[in-house]
Structure 1
Amino acid sequence: MKIKRRIKYYLLRLFRIKASPQQVAFSLTLGFIPSWIPTFGIGPILSVAITKVLRGNIIAAVIGGVIGTPIWPLLFFLNYKMGSLFFIKQINLDEVDDIEYVETLNETVGSIQSGSVLFLAGSVINIIVFSLIMYGGLYILLKKYRGHILQKLQNISC
């Protein structure tokens, strides 16, 4: 019950932001970007910093960072998969649980010959592709359906 209430709260804040659909979509997308890379707990701070530099909406950026925080294992898995599509060195990952996060960090810092190239290349590709998709989808959603969604959210009881 508490989770449902918190989700409703953040959605209401997002759809009530008094900014243009472009600015909200841009800021939320910027806030989500640090979730693709290992930030070791400073992802939301990076989200805010990036958004301030690019003059976006801070609330939307924080919401984007909050969305990405619980799904980072899936995002890291997608980074490896995407990187392995573009490099000869194929890795054998079938599940999110197959990724050794400490080992990934050590390889990223210590060796270019390791799976770190796959991870880094995959993260760059994913950031670009998914940011464009996320921005476009959010822009359309906010431009066309903002009022309707806000009205529906207000009618949901928690």
Structure 2
Amino acid sequence: MLNFEGNKLMKITRKIKYYLIRIFRLKSSPHQVALGLTMGFIPSWIPLFGLGPVLSIGLAKLARANTISAFVGGVIGTPIWPLLFILNYMVGGFLLDRKSKVDTLDEVEYKTAIDHTLAGFFKSHSSGLLFLSGAFVNIIISSILIYFITFFLFKKYRVKVLNKLR
């Protein structure tokens, strides 16, 4: 069993390295790459039935950002959606001074996430409002952080990173 888990970890590590190389080899400006990665990660905060990476590309085109880095941003956010889901509730609960219905990763189910998101659009006093207010704040904060970190890394360390990844 340990060998199986080791192989899985190697595959994940290899994919991360592959995507890093793809991002740092892009010919686009640091601004376009950073904006693309930022736009790509935004849909990850809201459950979208697996359409996040596709929506990421659409957002990148609207913002005139790099679509490859947007796709990578969407792919990065897809496997961590349960964590993002909980963060939305935590931040929303803090902002609205209410207790969240979801506190641990074990309580996160995709159907529940979708129900709570839709409820936020139609009911003003529901847990969905808690979720959406947290998502809004998390999107803003994560977008600022992702943009500036990516821009800085891409501008300053592009050549060094590529040499280390080879």
Relative to the length of structure 1, the TM-score reads: 0.90
CA–CA separation in structure 1 for the residues paired with 2:161 and 2:107: 38
- Residue 21 of structure 1 aligns with which residue? 30
2:136 to 124, 144, 148: 124
Structure 1 residues 104, 65: closer, same or farther in 2, change over 3 A?
A: closer
Structure 1 residues 99, 114: closer, same or farther in 2, change over 3 A?
A: farther
* Off by >6 Å, runs of 4+ in structure 1: none
Q: Relative contact order: is structure 1 or structure 2 higher (C-alpha 8 Å, sep ≥ 6)? A: 1
Matches within 5 A, 1:80-119: 80-91=89-100, 93-110=102-119, 111-119=123-131
1:83–1:118 contact (8 Å) kept in structure 2: yes
Does residue 69 in structure 1 map to residue 78 in structure 2?
A: yes
How far apart are residue 109 of structure 1 and its match? 2.7
Number of residues of Structure 1 aligned to a counterpart in Structure 2: 154
CA–CA separation in structure 2 for the residues paired with 1:17 and 1:8: 14
- Residue 45 of structure 2 aligns with which residue? 36
What runs of 5+ residues in structure 2 fail to find an aligned partner?
1-9
- Residue 57 of structure 1 aligns with which residue? 66
- Residue 145 of structure 2 aligns with which residue? 133
What runs of 5+ residues in structure 1 fail to find an aligned partner?
none
What per-residue deviation string (whole Å, max 9, x for no partner) do you get for residues 45-75 of structure 1? Answer: 1001111122111110111011001001000
Structure 1 residues 9, 100: closer, same or farther in 2, change over 3 A?
A: closer
Letter in 1 for 2:61: K
How far apart are residue 77 of structure 1 and its match? 0.6
How far apart are residue 95 of structure 1 and its match? 1.7
1:108–1:114 contact (8 Å) kept in structure 2: no
How far apart are residue 92 of structure 1 and its match? 5.4
2:46–2:117 contact (8 Å) kept in structure 1: no
Percent identity reads: 51
- Residue 142 of structure 1 aligns with which residue? 154
Letter in 1 for 2:48: T
SS at match of 2:100: coil
How far apart are residue 91 of structure 1 and its match? 2.0
1:104–1:115 contact (8 Å) kept in structure 2: no
